[in-house]
Amino acid sequence: MSAALPPFAQPQETDGAPELLHLSTVPGPHTDAGAEEPCLRADAARNRARLLEAAARLVAEHGAAALTMEAVAAAASVGKGTVFRRFGDRTGLLLALLDHSERKFQAALLHGPPPLGPGAPAADRLRAFGGAMLRRCTEDLALQLAAEPSADRRYTVAPRRFLRGHVALLLRQAVPDADCELLSQMLMAPLDAPLVHHLTTQCGMPVDRLEAGWNDLVTRVTGAPAAPPGI
């Protein structure tokens, strides 16, 4: 899927909660138009689940880097074209494997308990967001790295835009006079899987140090008092 993707709708960055943007509902040029998860026919849903089960088994046995469309087709006893039609390309397949955790994370941001969810000061929510992102990234680091979109898609895929919109919303509450659109992009950078991999695996930094650095960054950007222990 090397062709440019169709433009996505701008994320809703208002004081109201934005809609969840699921990984598996982002259409690509090789997927069926409008093939959102709740609307799949029963047989199509079963086929999709079978493909994802085969993919998850291959990742568990051989690692995410070894996952190919051909291997999934063989493991699921279907033609390769079936896998491409369902997921578009390898990145789409990997994103679908991450879909469940993405849905849970988005739901926690929108409806979960504070400080990650609503009800806490914006700076505290930003601190909690970064910590949760770092822990989530390191738990599935190999899969996160394998699912990294190409450079021309990295900042336009729907889940990334949802998360950046969430950060922009919190920044507008914490520092309303800042350029929150640009600042949200800059704050998301330390949470990217490739950088987390470099710092934790290649530089040997513990995740606790990354989280402490994120909290310090939020404190300096927002000017809010340092968070008490446990935030």
Report whether 55 contacts 41 (CB < 8 A): no
Residue 15's pLDDT band, with cuts at 50, 70 and 90, is: very low
The lowest-confidence range among 1-10, 13-22, 91-100, 145-154 is 1-10
pLDDT confidence band for 227 (50 / 70 / 90)? low
- Domain ranges for the chain, please list them: 30-88, 90-226
pLDDT for position 196: 97
Identify the band that residue 168 occupies on the pLDDT scale cut at 50, 70 and 90.
very high
CATH code given to domain 90-226 = 1.10.357.10
Nearest to 26 by CA among 158, 203, 223: 158
Q: If pLDDT is split at 50, 70 and 90, which confidence band does 164 have?
A: very high
Question: CA-CA distances (angstroms) from residue 190 to 55, 96, 124, 215?
Answer: 29, 24, 18, 12
Res 226 pLDDT > 50: yes
The pLDDT of residue 228 is 64
Q: What is the pTM of this model?
A: 0.73
- pLDDT at residue number 174: 97
Share of the chain above pLDDT 70, in %: 81
| CA pair distance 64, 207, nearest whole angstrom | 22
Start-to-end CA distance of the chain, whole Å, equals: 41
Residue 29's pLDDT band, with cuts at 50, 70 and 90, is very low
**Structure confidence at residue 39 (pLDDT):** 52
Structure tokens that stand for 16 in this block: 């109201």
Q: What angle do CA 79, 58, 55 make, to 5 degrees?
A: 55
If you compute the radius of gyration of the chain from its CA atoms, what whole number of angstroms results? 19
User: What region, left, alpha or beta, does residue 77 occupy, with left being phi > 0 and alpha being psi -120 to 50 degrees?
Assistant: left
Q: Is the confidence at residue 218, as pLDDT, over 60? A: yes
Query: Which of 223, 153, 221, 152 lies closest to 183, judged by CA?
Result: 221
The helix or strand, by DSSP H or E, that contains position 154, with its residue range, turns out to be none
43-47, 72-76, 172-176 — most confident range: 172-176
**Average pLDDT for 91-112:** 90
Residue, of 74 and 24, whose pLDDT is higher: 74
DSSP state of 7: P
What pLDDT band is residue 44 in, cutting at 50, 70 and 90? Answer: confident
Q: Answer whether CATH 1.10.10 is correct for domain 30-88.
A: yes
Question: How remote is the C-alpha of 65 from its chain's centroid?
Answer: 18
Of 38, 143, 41, 47, whose CA–CA distance to 86 is shortest? 47
